[in-house]
């Protein structure tokens, strides 16, 4: 019983409350299926501004901590590129706000990230 309780402590997020909607800001854990995902840093944001025309859409990469049943890892997720870890599929599906060309707001909105998955990956994928 003690070992089971200790294992649960090892993979529990260190931040207080865990969101349950798959969305989070930096440092805020959120439940995504069987996983708890915590965005740690915006590593790259070369996305095309939403009010511009670009020949390349660009990309966004977010460093996340992933907590699963008995394990924890940190990895980088690219927007729209699902990954499989420990047999679980996870994707970064949203990075808000979008970038703007030209003058920037004096008080930018905090970044918000959306995730999907957290379920066992299947052989069909």
Per the domain annotation, does 102 fall within a domain?
yes
The domain total for the chain is: 1
92/27 Cα distance (integer angstroms): 15
| Contacts (Cβ under 8 Å, ≥6 apart) of 58 | 45, 46, 47, 48
Domain that holds residue 31: 2-120
> How does pLDDT run along the chain (125 residues), one tens digit per residue?
434 343 344 344 554 799 999 999 999 999 999 999 999 999 998 888 777 778 877 899 999 999 999 999 999 999 999 999 999 999 999 998 766 666 656 666 688 999 999 888 774 44
Global pTM value: 0.77
Per the domain annotation, does 125 fall within a domain?
no
């Amino acid at each position: 019983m003690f070992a089971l309780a200790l294992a649960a402590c090892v993979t529990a997020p260190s931040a207080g409350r865990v969101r349950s909607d798959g969305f989070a800001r930096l440092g805020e854990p959120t439940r995504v299926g069987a996983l708890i995902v915590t965005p740690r840093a915006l590593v790259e944001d070369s996305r095309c501004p939403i009010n511009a025309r670009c020949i390349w859409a660009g990309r966004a990469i977010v460093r996340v901590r992933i907590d699963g049943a008995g394990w924890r890892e940190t990895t980088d997720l690219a927007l729209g590129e699902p990954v499989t870890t420990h047999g679980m599929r996870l994707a970064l599906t949203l990075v808000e706000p979008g970038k703007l060309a030209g003058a920037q707001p004096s008080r930018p909105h905090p970044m918000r990230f959306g995730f999907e998955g957290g379920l066992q990956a299947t052989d069909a994928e």
